[in-house]
Amino acid sequence: MSADAPAGQTAAAKANPNGPTEETVLAVEHFTDRLFRFRLTRPKSFRFRSGEFVMIGLLKEDGRPLLRAYSIASPSWDEELEFYSIKVPDGPLTSRLEKIQPGDKVLLGRKPTGTLVLDALTPGKRLYMFSTGTGFAPFASLVRDPDTYERYEQVIVTHTCRDVAELTYSRNLIDSLKDDPLVGELVGGKLALYTTTTREAYPNMGRITTLIENGKLFADLGVPPLDPSTDRAMMCGSNEMIQDVKALMLKAGLKEGSNAAPAEFVIEKAFAG
Ligand code: A2P
């Protein structure tokens, strides 16, 4: 990159106007030896809808980009971009990405997309966001978007992880929202975070699928069972988690939606490598 090239306009980016831009790392926070988040500069021309994903990555030694799909964890109005990532010891990308420091460069694709967007759901009363592990990322975006609270009377985010430390990001983020200048007044009484663990002692334990099936989730929250006339859902996690939660949505009578045909629930696989 030449010293005078503006951010996102490197020689490589100019050579390929559809290729990734090069963004600067602004902050990095490690939660556990498996999880971290980081923030990047956001090009002025980069537009997305809260809940979408984009390709991000690093240059390989041969100078070619190594890119993976990542949910954007920041809301669409934010001037910066935030991402929440797993660290896989021999993962081709994450083993290098976990070492980034402020000032380093990360590649950012130009075409955000995805189905975990409010537009892919029909109107309803209550919105569930079911997540496991890094599947919380798109919901970190949506819970910070005022549109979410304009469209739904109640927003319930569930996050299930193996151990308590892995819940740090979601718990800190949701806790900070009450002081947020944009959504602080909207979240009060509307937003609930429901956290559970599966492998470490915690007041609330169990897979979300079990807690939906045995009704504990609804009893704990004081809400009626899933009802297609009022409830909408988004889910993000491993392939197996999505398939299992999807089966429970279908059983409750909710239909799967998409950008082209909005309906009652939408799914997306969390980044995993
Ligand atoms: P478990 O510990 O019983 O496997 P991971 O870190 O492997 O992505 O898992 C994140 C969380 O998702 C864990 O608490 C895990 O529970 C849970 N999980 C894994 N598979 C499923 C599934 N098919 N349905 C619901 N939850 C799942």
Q: Which of 33, 35, 207 to mutate to test the pocket of ligand 1 (most atoms within 8 A of CB)?
A: 207
pLDDT of residue 25: 98
pLDDT of residue 13: 52
Of the chain, the end-to-end C-alpha distance in Å amounts to: 28
Give how many domains the chain has, as a whole number: 2
**φ, ψ at 127 (rounded to 5°):** -115, 120
pLDDT of residue 14: 53
Q: Whose CA is nearest to atom 20 of ligand 1?
A: 241
Residue 38 shares a structural domain with residue 89: yes
Q: Could you say which of 38, 73, 108 is where a domain stops? A: 108
Residue 122 shares a structural domain with residue 233: yes
Q: Which of 131, 199, 241 to mutate to test the pocket of ligand 1 (most atoms within 8 A of CB)?
A: 241
Q: Which of 35, 84, 132, 208 to mutate to test the pocket of ligand 1 (most atoms within 8 A of CB)?
A: 132
199 C-alpha to center of ligand 1: Å? 10
Residue 124 shares a structural domain with residue 208: yes
Q: Which of 134, 159, 160 to mutate to test the pocket of ligand 1 (most atoms within 8 A of CB)?
A: 160
Q: What is the pTM of this model?
A: 0.94
Q: Whose CA is nearest to atom 21 of ligand 1?
A: 241
Q: What residues of the chain score a pLDDT lower than 70? A: 1-15, 272-273
Query: DSSP states of 152-191 as a string?
Result: -SEEEEEEEESSGGGGHHHHHHHHHGGG-TTTHHHHTTTE
For the CA of 135, the nearest atom of ligand 1: 8
How many whole angstroms separate alpha carbon 254 and alpha carbon 201? 33
- Asked whether residue 181 is assigned to any structural domain, the reply reads yes
Q: Could you say which of 57, 76, 108 is where a domain stops? A: 108
Q: Find the domain containing 231 and state its range.
A: 118-267
Three-class SS of 82-133: EEEEECCCCCCCHHHHCCCCCCCEEEECCCCECCCCHHHECCCCEEEEEEEH
Residue 102 shares a structural domain with residue 180: no
122 C-alpha to center of ligand 1: Å? 28
Query: Residues enclosing ligand 1, CB less than 6 A?
Result: 132-133, 160-162, 198-199, 207-209, 237-238, 240-241, 244
Residue 138 shares a structural domain with residue 259: yes
86 C-alpha to center of ligand 1: Å? 14
* Rg (alpha carbons) of the chain, rounded to whole number: 19
103 C-alpha to center of ligand 1: Å? 34
Total H helices, total E strands in the chain: 9, 11
CATH at residue 40: 2.40.30.10
For the CA of 209, the nearest atom of ligand 1: 25
How many whole angstroms separate alpha carbon 55 and alpha carbon 110? 8
For the CA of 34, the nearest atom of ligand 1: 6
Q: Could you say which of 56, 82, 108 is where a domain stops? A: 108
- Asked whether residue 126 is assigned to any structural domain, the reply reads yes
